[in-house]
């Protein structure tokens, strides 16, 4: 950029600048500001000054030309003047053309700048409009937030009040429940005492009549043909189990009945079915016990045999009623049978026919048939002398999680993940009743008149088998994984995902006791817990690979068996003899326990 030199008058009036090193700071600041203003003003007027200088040059040239034309004493000729004039005119014309080009370029650039400025102004206007719209929305949102905060504060106050009321009502309900439990316990104790007195009186009367009958002589040849024993399930079972021994007992009772007809009424009273208030148990149910009877179950202490029983994980295990045979079912679609002798498991055979894994196993009370649930939405029944299923019960839309024989042995109950419980007639191999449930069914057990099911909605439901109606619901604290009924059919055991076992008194239909233990954890949604065969203990497998055994009378943990499983224990089984226990896990291992 060109700089403009100062004229002589300006130089005269311009004082030499003081030395910056010796001047004061405010003077140096003023000098810097003056230099900056001088530079800025020179830049603004630079083009004007340049144009002014060109104009002066042109005026000087014009004056020179005019002087040469009109001067009387011209030293040159007219032709020379014309040539110089043409030269100057050509130069001026060339400069005019160049300036016009520059003007056009500047005009085009100015038009672009104007168009860009117009677009920018339009964008600014659009942004201003958007800003106004967003501002209105922000205001509306602020007002809405204030209203919501006011409503939230009101609801919070109401919630605090209701929470306080709920706590008070909960405490009151707990007190009322405790009082009801106490009263129910007292009523049950009185009823039991009354029943025991009546039973003792009946037995005393029966004993007295038997003594009177025994003291009289009787000729068996004179026995009338019309006199016979009352038909009862227990006598029929004794006849089927004991054969000629049962027949000899029947003849003895027949002779006594001829002598004293009242004995028939007494014996008939022992076998007739009774309903004690709202109790779910009956005398006939109590008599529906398996073939074997265990007086005292022995708590196992050590491993006698361990075997990889299946190719994949084992889901179910069950002893036969005579305790000499074990069945295991796994994800590999088969049931394997094992003989037990000398504390060892000996492979006996395989039952196949299922298209998917086995979920549950049960022997019938005679020990001749096996019922199993399967992942292929069906239940299958085998006879022990045939590896092919005798029946396949199909009708569920999802996997069958549990399958049980009913007390009459002519029917089967199945529970499924499709939220139904079905009752099947084995004579027709057809479903005769479907119970719709609102939750996934994990397990079922049966009594004579009731079917009991456990569900994922943390409830145990009691179903009347005759009307398919739900008569009662027992709520728990976790998803139910298994159910088991005591040998005397008076107590129900449930295992749930809240890491606890619940014992329900079926006569009172309320929770009697809760069993927990440090380290016990329910390993899956199908973990099984069982009663001991004498009804004195509870056993269940844990996710840590241990087997836990509780004492029912004390409510305490009786024993934790050593860690022999590598993975979670799915199921346990206790032999009817009370001598052996078997536990199975997800890693296909089956372990036989005993106290010997």
DSSP secondary structure letter of residue 275: -
**pLDDT at residue 10 is higher than 80:** no
Per-residue pLDDT for 225 more than 70? no
Q: How many CB atoms lie within 10 A of CB 572?
A: 23
In 243-313, alpha helices (H): 244-259, 261-271, 283-287
Per DSSP, the three-state class of 415 is strand
Q: In angstroms, rounded to a whole number, what is the distance separating the alpha carbons of residues 397 and 413?
A: 16
Domain 302-594, architecture per CATH: 7 Propeller (2.130)
Q: What's the average model confidence in pLDDT over 82-96?
A: 78
595/270: higher pLDDT: 595
pLDDT score of 292 more than 60? no
Contact (Cβ atoms closer than 8 angstroms) between residue 291 and residue 322? yes
44, with CB counted inside 10 A (0-12, 13-18, 19+), is exposed
What pLDDT band is residue 343 in, cutting at 50, 70 and 90? confident
What mean pLDDT comes out for the span 349-353? 91
pLDDT classification of 293: cutoffs 50, 70, 90: low
- Pick the range with the lowest mean pLDDT from 290-294, 302-306, 541-545: 290-294
Per-residue model confidence as pLDDT tens digits over 102-146: 888 988 999 999 999 999 999 999 999 999 999 999 999 999 999
Interval 188-192 mean pLDDT: 79
Q: pLDDT (tens digit, 9 = 90+) per residue, 429-463? A: 889 999 999 899 999 998 877 899 999 999 999 99
pLDDT, residue 295, reads 66
Alpha carbons 129 and 131: distance in angstroms, whole number: 5
Q: Which helix (H) or strand (E) holds 585?
A: strand 580-585
Cβ-Cβ contacts under 8 Å for 519 (sequence gap 6 or more)? 542, 544, 546, 548, 560
Quick one: DSSP state of residue 229?
P
Alpha-carbon distance 399 to 375, whole Å?
4
In what side-by-side order are the strands of the sheet with 580-585?
Answer: 302-308, 589-594, 580-585, 569-574
CA distance 318 to 484: 13
Does pLDDT of 484 surpass 70?
yes
DSSP state, 576? T
Q: Under a CB-based contact definition with an 8 Å cutoff, are residues 565 and 585 in contact?
A: yes
> Residues 349, 353, 356, CA angle at the centre, nearest 5°?
110
What pLDDT score was predicted for residue 205? Answer: 82
Distance between CA atoms of residues 249 and 237, nearest Å:
13
- The pLDDT confidence band at residue 310, using thresholds 50, 70 and 90, is very high
Q: Residue 81: what pLDDT?
A: 64
| Closest C-alpha among 529, 523, 543 to residue 574 | 529
Q: What is the mean pLDDT of the chain?
A: 80
Task: Of 177-181, 490-494, 511-515, give the range with the top mean pLDDT.
Answer: 490-494
How far from the centroid of its chain's Cα atoms is residue 273's Cα?
43
The phi and psi torsions of 444 (rounded to 5 degrees) equal -140, 150
Q: Which residues contact 248 (CB under 8 A, 6 or more apart)?
A: none
Residue 285: pLDDT band (50, 70, 90) is very low
Please name the helix (run of DSSP H) or strand (run of DSSP E) that holds residue 159, with its range, or none.
helix 78-215
Pick the range with the lowest mean pLDDT from 25-34, 156-165, 198-207.
Answer: 198-207
Q: With a threshold of 0.75, does the pTM exceed it?
A: no
Domain boundaries, the chain: 302-594
528-582, pLDDT tens digit by residue?
A: 999 999 889 999 999 999 999 999 999 999 999 988 898 999 999 999 988 899 9
Q: Residue 493's pLDDT band (boundaries 50, 70, 90)?
A: very high
**Residue 46 in this model has a pLDDT that exceeds 90:** no
- The pLDDT value recorded for residue 509 is 66
User: Residue 279: pLDDT band by 50, 70, 90 thresholds?
Assistant: very low
**In the prediction, which pLDDT does 100 show?**
87
Least confident of 2-16, 173-187, 443-457: 2-16
Higher pLDDT, 268 or 464: 464
Q: Over 80: is that where the pLDDT of 27 sits?
A: yes
For tokens 């006849």, what's the residue?
239
Using alpha carbons, select from 518, 569, 565 the residue that is nearest to residue 542.
569
Cα(419)–Cα(456) distance, rounded to whole angstroms? 10
pLDDT for position 237: 38
For residue 222, CA distances in Å to 225, 253, 266 come to 9, 15, 23
pLDDT at 312 over 70: yes
pLDDT for 374-424, tens place per residue?
A: 999 999 999 998 888 998 999 999 999 999 998 888 899 999 999 999 999
Indicate the pLDDT class of residue 18, thresholds 50, 70 and 90: low
């Amino acid at each position: 950029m060109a700089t403009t030199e100062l004229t002589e008058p300006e130089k005269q009036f311009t004082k030499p600048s003081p030395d910056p090193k010796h001047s004061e700071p405010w003077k140096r600041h003023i000098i810097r500001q003056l230099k900056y203003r001088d530079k800025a003003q020179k830049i603004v007027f630079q083009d004007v000054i340049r144009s002014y200088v060109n104009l002066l040059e042109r005026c000087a040239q014009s004056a020179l030309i005019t002087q040469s034309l009109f001067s009387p004493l011209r030293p040159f000729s007219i032709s020379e003047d014309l040539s110089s004039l043409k030269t100057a005119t050509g130069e001026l014309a060339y400069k005019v053309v160049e300036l016009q080009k520059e003007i056009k370029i500047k005009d085009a650039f100015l038009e672009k700048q104007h168009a860009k400025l117009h677009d920018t102004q339009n964008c600014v206007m659009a942004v201003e409009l958007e800003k106004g719209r967003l501002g209105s929305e922000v205001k509306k949102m602020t007002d809405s937030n204030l209203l919501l905060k006011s409503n939230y504060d009101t609801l919070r106050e109401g919630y605090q009040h209701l929470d306080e009321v709920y706590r008070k009502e909960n405490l009151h309900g707990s007190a009322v429940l405790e009082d009801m439990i106490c009263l129910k316990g007292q009523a049950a104790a009185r009823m039991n005492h009354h029943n025991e007195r009546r039973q003792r009186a009946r037995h005393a009367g029966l004993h007295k009549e038997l003594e009177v009958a025994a003291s009289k002589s009787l000729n068996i040849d004179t026995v009338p043909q019309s006199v016979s024993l009352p038909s009862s399930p227990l006598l029929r079972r004794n006849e089927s189990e004991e054969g000629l021994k049962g027949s000899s007992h029947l003849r003895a009772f027949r002779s006594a009945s001829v002598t004293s007809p009242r004995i028939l009424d007494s014996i008939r009273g022992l076998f007739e079915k009774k309903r004690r208030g709202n109790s779910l148990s009956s005398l006939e149910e109590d008599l529906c016990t398996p073939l074997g009877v265990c007086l005292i179950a022995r708590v196992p202490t050590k491993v006698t045999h361990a075997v990889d029983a299946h190719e994949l994980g084992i889901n179910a295990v069950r002893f036969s009623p005579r305790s000499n045979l074990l069945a295991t079912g796994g994800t590999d679609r088969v049931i394997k049978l094992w003989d037990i002798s000398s504390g060892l498991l000996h492979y006996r055979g395989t039952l196949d026919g299922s298209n998917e894994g086995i979920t549950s196993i049960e022997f019938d009370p005679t020990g001749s048939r096996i019922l199993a649930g399967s992942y292929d939405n069906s239940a299958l029944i085998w006879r022990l002398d045939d590896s092919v299923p005798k029946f396949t019960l199909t009708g569920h839309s999802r996997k069958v999680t549990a399958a049980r024989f009913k007390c009459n042995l002519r029917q089967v109950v199945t529970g499924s993940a499709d939220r139904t419980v079905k009752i099947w007639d084995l004579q027709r191999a057809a479903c005769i009743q479907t119970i719709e449930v609102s939750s996934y069914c994990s397990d079922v057990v049966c009594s004579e008149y009731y079917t009991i099911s456990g569900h994922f909605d943390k409830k145990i439901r009691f179903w009347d088998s005759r009307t398919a109606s739900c008569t009662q619901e027992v709520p728990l604290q976790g998803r139910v994984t298994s159910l088991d009924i005591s040998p005397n059919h008076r107590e129900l055991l449930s295992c749930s995902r809240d890491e606890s076992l619940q014992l329900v008194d079926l006569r009172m239909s309320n929770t009697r006791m809760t069993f927990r233990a440090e380290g016990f954890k329910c390993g899956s949604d199908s973990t099984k817990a069982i009663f001991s065969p004498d009804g004195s203990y509870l056993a269940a497998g844990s996710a840590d690979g241990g087997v836990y055994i509780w004492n029912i009378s004390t409510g305490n943990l009786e024993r934790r068996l050593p860690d022999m499983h590598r993975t979670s224990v799915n199921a346990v089984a206790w032999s009817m003899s009370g001598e052996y226990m078997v536990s199975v896990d997800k890693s296909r291992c089956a372990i036989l326990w005993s106290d010997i």
